[in-house]
Structure 1
Amino acid sequence: MAATSTGVVVAGAGAVLLAGNRAQGHVVGDMSAGVLISATDAGETERYWTDRRMGGATPIDQRADDGVRAASGSVARSKTFGGIPTLGALFFNNGGGDHYCTASVVHSGSHSLILTAAHCLHGGRGGHYARKIAFVPKYDRGRRPYGVWTVKSMTVHRNWVSKGDVDLDFGYAALNKRGGRTIEKAVGYNKLAINQGTGKWVNIAGYPKIVHDRRDHPIYCRTKTKRKSKYQIRMDCTGFYGGTSGSPWLLNYSGRTHTGYINGVIGGYQGGGSTASTSYSPYFDRDVYDLRTAADKRA
């Protein structure tokens, strides 16, 4: 995945990028909702996800092929690649079948968090939390080079649970240790970026529906962010079919370390987009920062 560069400034100890000296948002206080998963359930989850079940899982999101192509150069075109360790497929069962999204490792005090779209963890208003949830870093054509990581807890915003607020369609899962190591120790991590505005170059990577790429590779794209509304941003790039919900939008991506700063995830408006060539993300501000703090407490 090609590297990018932006002019953002590191604040604090490097755990988060800020545009100014305040992490501004529109909600104050602990507005998190979450659930803990027992060690027994985690053990059952690891046994549940056989090669057959992973291969048969379907995207939680359905995104149409709108026929947009990048020949004119007006829309960026995604490319397949072998994946990176901090990016993975997130498998789960929502009561209606086996599904998957995309998730990525984000730096935290517990060294155990992944970040994805809230709708991959909880169904929103009237819904419930996902079950049998597991993260597979650098999943590629059925291969699991870092194994299957089970989840200890999930954390989303209360207003996602009660209202399905698309401006809060992001969430965290804390992973159990594997072989005595945290996920950060095993694969590395990305950092968090908030209040960055738009017009930024980002690298976006995810796992599209296999029917659109029989090779079953992850994809990536380098493009600029645009403003959709006050609390929504967008990007235009082909190939982001179902399965890419939760895909990280990485600022300052380094081709050497294969990491960057997460400035968004595919989700939000239209569940992240109704077509494969235009994707959305909630605008990352103080809410996503505070939710990480709450998730760390459940880790």
Structure 2
Amino acid sequence: MRLPRLATAALVAAAALTLGGCLLPSPPERPVERTAPRAPTTPSGAAAPEVVPVEPDAPVTSGDTTASDTGELYAGEAGETSDGFLPDAAVDVVLPPTAGTPVVRPGIALPVHEDGDELLPGTAHEGSGNLLLTTSGRLELSAGGAEYTCSGTVINSESGLIVLTAAHCIFDDDTRDWYDRISFAPAYERGEAPFGTWVAEEWWVPEQYLEANDRWLDGADDDGWMGFDFGFIRFAPQDGATLEDAVGGQGVSFTAETNGVVIAGYPGNDPFDSEVLRHCAEDRLDYGAGGDANYGADCEMGDGASGSAFVSNLDPTTGAGHITAVFSNGGATGAYGPPLGVTAWNGLRSIDG
């Protein structure tokens, strides 16, 4: 859900779910440039299987082929939901964090918690060495004179400039256009941006999201966009340095597996204020609630938390783990987010480099 800044009312919820998103501005002087996909590689350097984007109705993988098991595929449920939607198809690609070592074992690093309390209060974000604190940040978006906030996370990438967030934090559902400007402040806390504010220069969202979202906004019964509500933003470097140079990069798993998650972001709906990093923790996720291709966690964060990472295998000492999904919608009823798979992996490759 995107949170309007300088406004007291939250956005109107649709279909009993609140969207919390930010939208990304398109550069006014040039079209978005797409780079040719590179051959994917695994962290070991071995060639990963060639993969192609999938449509919402394409079959999901039926087996778990990851080298080291980190959980159950789609929380033990079939990929197709009761409403006939399918998630992004899993692919055997796991990017490690660029600092710290995730703990791959049953359970979660923090106690189960659903109230969105401040994450590690009293711990300095700057130079803390905790990836969950430094890579998580607040996105600020501008469109038609209005300003909004979302959440995002710096990830391991070739360019070192990529933030993972929700698609509706990149594409404006209200105007059906890109935002005029988007910026990112990693480790933001109460007006302070210890690692600076970074400006977006390129972005990507799935075609599946755009097509299904248009049908849904036009009144068609199509919640298929929820399974593809993820996207990537590339930010301009600063003085030759990258985001990863400044804060490190969280790992990402495109295997659709979970091992319990910690969700960290900047909700701004009452009683929150979007000024501090807040979290929920859940040892097991549901899948397919309401017939949608989303994971579900007991978590009461809402507006402004959109784009928050679902971090699995979190190391409590280093804050390193693997992002397996992003916060798409929710509120008092829980937090829901699409698992990342082959479409997300190809989207990352298309703007990274």
TM-score greater than 0.5 by the shorter chain: yes
Moved more, 145-154 or 87-96: 87-96
Secondary structure class of the residue paired with 1:142: coil
- Cα offset, 1:230, TM superposition: 6.9
- TM-score normalised to the size of structure 2? 0.60
**Larger proportion of strand:** 1
Secondary structure class of the residue paired with 2:181: strand
> What does 1:107-256 align with in structure 2 at a 5 Å threshold?
107-124=156-173, 127-164=176-213, 165-198=225-258, 200-209=259-268, 211-213=270-272, 216-223=275-282, 224-228=284-288, 229=291, 231-238=293-300, 240-256=301-317
- Cα offset, 1:25, TM superposition: 6.9
Secondary structure class of the residue paired with 1:256: coil
- Cα offset, 1:276, TM superposition: 2.9
CA distance in 1, matches of 2:348, 2:155: 9
- Cα offset, 1:75, TM superposition: 6.9
Cα deviation 1:99-118 (Å, max 9, x = unaligned): 01000001111111000000
CA distance in 2, matches of 1:203, 1:276: 17
Secondary structure class of the residue paired with 1:250: strand
Indicate yes or no: 2:322 matched with 1:261.
Answer: yes
- Cα offset, 1:255, TM superposition: 2.6
RMSD: 2.9
Counting matched residue pairs gives 232
CA distance in 1, matches of 2:44, 2:337: 23
Structure 2: 5+ residue stretches without partners: 1-40, 57-110, 126-132, 214-224
Q: Aligned in 2, Cα 1:214/1:154: closer, same or farther, shift over 3 Å? A: closer
Identity of aligned residues (%): 25
1:26 corresponding residue in structure 2: 54
1:67 corresponding residue in structure 2: none
Checking the alignment, whether the CA contact within 8 Å between 1:115 and 1:246 is kept in structure 2 is: yes
Structure 1: 5+ residue stretches without partners: 1-10, 29-72
**Larger proportion of helix:** 1
CA distance in 1, matches of 2:55, 2:272: 40
Corresponding letter in the other structure for 2:141? F
- Cα offset, 1:76, TM superposition: 3.2
Q: Aligned in 2, Cα 1:209/1:293: closer, same or farther, shift over 3 Å? A: same
- TM-score normalised to the size of structure 1? 0.70
CA distance in 1, matches of 2:207, 2:342: 15
Q: Aligned in 2, Cα 1:125/1:294: closer, same or farther, shift over 3 Å? A: farther
Q: Aligned in 2, Cα 1:181/1:14: closer, same or farther, shift over 3 Å? A: farther
Q: Aligned in 2, Cα 1:215/1:172: closer, same or farther, shift over 3 Å? A: closer
2:115 corresponding residue in structure 1: 77
